[in-house]
């Protein structure tokens, strides 16, 4: 299969210099851009899957009536955080 190209992107010279400064040893600008695009695609796919799971869960919860109110969840999280802080302080 033939390879395809991703359109080039025009950037300010200062930004290109920043990118060049963070390239790994022996890494080309093209390799960096490809890795960045792949990472972004992966992150967006993960995000879309996360939202889809959340929407499915919401639909299921509404249908069954079996869900926990947000204020209750927040209170539980605050309690857990306070407990963790106390334990962390006690260890010092």
Rounded-to-integer distance, Cα 8 and Cα 2, Å: 19
Contact 38, 6 (CB under 8 A): no
Q: Which of 5, 66, 64 is nearest to 30 (CA)?
A: 5
Rounded-to-integer distance, Cα 56 and Cα 52, Å: 6
User: What confidence tens digit (pLDDT) does each residue in 10-45 have?
Assistant: 999 999 999 999 999 999 999 999 999 999 999 999
Contact 22, 31 (CB under 8 A): no
Tell me the whole-structure pTM to 2 decimals.
0.67
Q: Which of 66, 89, 86, 68 is nearest to 78 (CA)?
A: 86
pLDDT at 91 over 90: no
Q: What is the mean pLDDT of the chain?
A: 94
First to last CA, the chain: 60
pLDDT band at 68 (very low <50, low <70, confident <90, very high): confident
């Amino acid at each position: 299969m033939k390879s395809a190209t991703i359109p080039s992107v025009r950037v300010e010279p200062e930004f290109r210099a920043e990118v060049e400064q963070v390239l790994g040893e022996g890494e080309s600008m093209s390799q960096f851009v490809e890795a960045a695009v792949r990472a972004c695609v992966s992150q967006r796919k993960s995000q879309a899957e996360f939202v889809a799971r959340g929407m499915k869960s919401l639909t299921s919860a509404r249908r069954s009536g079996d869900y926990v109110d947000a204020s209750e969840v927040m209170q539980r999280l605050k309690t857990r955080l306070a407990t963790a802080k106390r334990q962390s302080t006690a260890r010092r």
